[in-house]
Amino acid sequence: MTPFRMIFKSYIQRNREQFITVANGQGVPICGSGNIILESSIVLKDVLHVPQLANNLIFVQKLTKDLHCSITFFSTHCVFQDLATGKTILTAKEQSGLYLLESDDKNKTKIMSTTRKMTYAYTQKMSLKI
């Protein structure tokens, strides 16, 4: 889920009202969905556009399933590895209790700096902020 419309590669606006429930129990509207490219070969599919969110949020289960990867968390960083090859596909450094995604993609870095830092946070619901 993301509040940032500009980071979608493809986008479908939703005409009927649908909501997600956030941590405080409030329902916030979903405005659309689509695909987001994290890196040149890493595509997040069916990402929800929720403008009232403060940060990007991604669920660990969906990420590991869609990208066919595992995630290992350490106190200073986390590592995303392809299940078939064992190759590291993404890394994130811990900063103030959050995991900040590291990107080699210069265009993505520009997008991140013009919106917000993309961070990962491990939560009780096994989700990550991006």
50-75 pLDDT, tens digit per residue, is: 999 987 887 878 889 988 999 999 99
Whole-number pLDDT of residue 103? 64
Distance of alpha carbon 2 from alpha carbon 58, whole angstroms: 9
Higher-confidence residue of 112 and 29: namely 29
Share of the chain above pLDDT 70, in %: 78
Rg (CA), the chain: 15
Task: Say if residues 19 and 30 touch (Cβ distance below 8 Å).
Answer: yes
Residues 91, 80 contacting (CB under 8 angstroms): yes
Query: Into how many domains does the chain fold?
Result: 1
Q: Could you read off the pLDDT of 11-37 as tens digits, one per residue?
A: 999 988 899 998 889 999 999 999 998
**pLDDT of amino acid 105:** 54
Domain that holds residue 74: 5-129
For the chain, the average pLDDT equals 79
